[in-house]
Chain A
Amino acid sequence: MARFPKPPEGSWTEHYPALGTGPVSYEDSTSPEFYERERRAIFKRTWLNVGRVEELPRSGSYFTKEIAAANASVVVVRGKDGEVRAFHNICRHRGNKLVWNDYPLEETRGTCRQFQCKYHGWRYDLEGALNFVQQESEFFDLDKDAYGLLPVHCDVWAGFIFVNFAPEAEQPLTEFLGPMVTDLEGYPFDEMTARFGYRTNIAANWKLFMDAFQEFYHAPVLHAKQSPQKYSAMAQQAGFEAPHYRIEGPHRLVSTSGVRFWEMDSELVKPMEITTRSGLFGPWDEVDLGEMPKGVNPAHCDPWGLDSFQVFPNFVILLWSQGWYLTYHYWPTSHHTHVFEGNVYFLPATNARERIAQEMAAVTFKEFALQDANTLEATQMGIESGYVDRFLLNDQEVLCRHLHKEVADWIAAYESVPEVPRP
């Protein structure tokens, strides 16, 4: 018996009839050839979040981002005029990677007045213009104005910096994000600068980790031992249901209901959660973030736990009711590997008690994420063996179904356009 009402069609999945209800194939997560198609049709063609404006606090602040799925390295920099721009990280002289330290494959960040190539000393200003060429008179008819850094489309929404590798972006950023996401405008992302960042290499296709974090059907089982036995038994008995799912364009949302741990019997929570007044759902004591924009908890769930916005293709913004948020990025590196980055953001703590509650929430997040991460390698092995080729998805896994369909649809749309010269 459902605890929360489902749409009139009887299920969330049937509410979106294009999704179907049948078994699905994960060939899209095991095929090197499919990955190449994803790279062309998605990662070289749509808006990708590469960070936040707080990472570029002043003119000359920069960071580099390796985006293997687009076969690109970008340098993102705040110019003298305060604007955030992105450029291909390539010197126009002989193609040397422009900005890197020690290891060309590793990302870097810092502050500078200009970029200077390590190879022959060509220099570019913060707006990308070529302004110095070593022994310029040795060149032939060199027009420096024609050899600035190659720009990458770059736009900022709510402090989130996006790039797009298409020759021309097919949609402006906010149109691509659509109202479900842009209705988060006004959430105090810019004030939540206390950040814990985590990164790891995952031996699984990027979509499998997105699936792991866009359904919570697994939570009472995979994470059972994170909680005292009495709580786990109750959670497993109850199973998981979300009160609200929403699909809009290529993006997805799940809202969950909240748990008032602080009202629970002490046998149901861990001693350290009581000591720190914090845990998986975040600090127990409310922080005042002011009035929330209408995009937050759009179905008015009460008690509300979290909203997980799955922004196509590989970016997640997850808002907790306890006044903190997470971002996830899944950066493919091959058909069966990717780099996962998770960031945890809080308002800066005003005292040690708040800071300790944040530490507990961040450490707990890592304990859970480690369990999710290791399962992925096991899943990749299972589906990659090829012996089983159809798998089941229930109604609480509706968002997994949508991601794989959306990826397939983008590829089909891209490949249906007559062949023209493409980068």
Chain B
Amino acid sequence: MTMLPTEFADLEPFAPKWCLPSEPGRYAMRLSSSMDEMYEFYEAIHPRAAAAISHLERFDLYGLPEDATNLLHLLYSMIMVSFPVEAWGQPRVPDTGSASFDCFTEPAP
């Protein structure tokens, strides 16, 4: 059983871990992942982001098929891991050991 549109089968290995519907889920996954895992995911998805966004734009945002919704969530996770990958070199924002910022509501999808 695949999760993503067939055009994005190359990203399927990342889907079970990173197709996460909520920000708290994505943020927790970021904190519990190794940098190697996040580099690997980022390097696979980032070159495919433009194609993925174009694919999603063909649909009504509020009536996305399930596989497209999964792809959108995968792109949200790409944004989430881009901060450790592009800026921090570590999962957590440096010097924020005791700080938290809990997302309690976000737009759907």
Contact surface of A with B, Cβ cutoff 8 Å = 194-201, 203, 225-226, 270-272, 275-276, 342, 346, 348-353, 355-356, 358-360, 362-363, 366-367, 369-371, 373-375, 377
Other-chain residue from A196, A272, A352 in contact with B107 (beta carbon distance below 8 A): A196
- Known contacts A272-B86, A352-B72, A359-B76; decide if A366 and B103 are in contact (CB<8 Å): yes
What are 13 A-B pairs at a CB distance below 8 A? A196-B106, A198-B101, A198-B104, A199-B104, A200-B100, A270-B82, A272-B78, A353-B57, A355-B72, A355-B107, A356-B75, A363-B80, A374-B98
Nearest neighbor of B83 in chain A, beta-carbon distance: A367
- Please indicate the chain A residues that have their CB under 8 angstroms from the CB of B23 in the complex: 196, 363
For residues 60 through 108 of chain B, which have their beta carbon under 8 Å from a beta carbon of chain A? 61, 64, 72, 75-76, 78-80, 82-83, 86-88, 93-107
- Please indicate the chain A residues that have their CB under 8 angstroms from the CB of B88 in the complex: 225
- Please indicate the chain A residues that have their CB under 8 angstroms from the CB of B79 in the complex: 272, 276, 356, 359-360, 363
**Nearest CB in chain A: distance from B94 CB, A:** 7
- Please indicate the chain B residues that have their CB under 8 angstroms from the CB of A366 in the complex: 101, 103
- Known contacts A352-B61, A363-B79; decide if A373 and B56 are in contact (CB<8 Å): no
User: What is the interface residue range for chain B against chain A?
Assistant: 35 or more
The dominant DSSP class at the A interface is helix
Q: A363, B72: Cβ atoms under 8 Å?
A: no
- Please indicate the chain B residues that have their CB under 8 angstroms from the CB of A275 in the complex: 46, 49-50
Other-chain residue from B99, B101, B104, B109 in contact with A355 (beta carbon distance below 8 A): B109
- Please indicate the chain A residues that have their CB under 8 angstroms from the CB of B83 in the complex: 363, 367
Q: B105, A196: Cβ atoms under 8 Å?
A: yes
Rounded to whole angstroms, the CA-CA distance of A377 and B46 in the bound complex is 36
Other-chain residue from A270, A359, A360, A371 in contact with B93 (beta carbon distance below 8 A): A371
Rounded to whole angstroms, the CA-CA distance of A275 and B79 in the bound complex is 10
Task: Compute the total of residue contacts between A and B using a CB distance below 8 Å.
Answer: 109
- Please indicate the chain B residues that have their CB under 8 angstroms from the CB of A196 in the complex: 23, 103, 105-107
Contact surface of B with A, Cβ cutoff 8 Å = 23, 46, 49-50, 53, 56-57, 59, 61, 64, 72, 75-76, 78-80, 82-83, 86-88, 93-107, 109
Q: B94, A225: Cβ atoms under 8 Å?
A: yes
Beyond A195-B107, A196-B103: 18 further Cβ-contacts under 8 Å?
A: A198-B101, A271-B46, A272-B78, A272-B82, A275-B49, A276-B49, A352-B53, A352-B59, A352-B61, A355-B107, A356-B75, A356-B76, A358-B107, A359-B79, A363-B23, A363-B80, A374-B99, A377-B99
Top 7 A-B pairs, shortest CB-CB distance: A352-B56, A272-B82, A374-B99, A197-B105, A373-B99, A194-B107, A370-B96
Rounded to whole angstroms, the CA-CA distance of A244 and B90 in the bound complex is 37
Q: B107, A356: Cβ atoms under 8 Å?
A: no
Rounded to whole angstroms, the CA-CA distance of A377 and B98 in the bound complex is 9
Rounded to whole angstroms, the CA-CA distance of A200 and B78 in the bound complex is 24
Rounded to whole angstroms, the CA-CA distance of A352 and B95 in the bound complex is 33
Rounded to whole angstroms, the CA-CA distance of A351 and B49 in the bound complex is 15
Q: A356, B87: Cβ atoms under 8 Å?
A: no
Q: A349, B61: Cβ atoms under 8 Å?
A: yes
- Known contacts A196-B106, A196-B107, A270-B86; decide if A352 and B93 are in contact (CB<8 Å): no
Q: A197, B103: Cβ atoms under 8 Å?
A: yes
**Nearest CB in chain B: distance from A199 CB, A:** 5
Q: A373, B82: Cβ atoms under 8 Å?
A: no
Other-chain residue from A271, A348, A355, A371 in contact with B95 (beta carbon distance below 8 A): A371
Rounded to whole angstroms, the CA-CA distance of A194 and B108 in the bound complex is 8
- Please indicate the chain A residues that have their CB under 8 angstroms from the CB of B46 in the complex: 271-272, 275
Rounded to whole angstroms, the CA-CA distance of A353 and B55 in the bound complex is 10
- Please indicate the chain A residues that have their CB under 8 angstroms from the CB of B53 in the complex: 352-353, 356
Rounded to whole angstroms, the CA-CA distance of A346 and B107 in the bound complex is 10
Rounded to whole angstroms, the CA-CA distance of A203 and B106 in the bound complex is 25
Rounded to whole angstroms, the CA-CA distance of A355 and B64 in the bound complex is 13
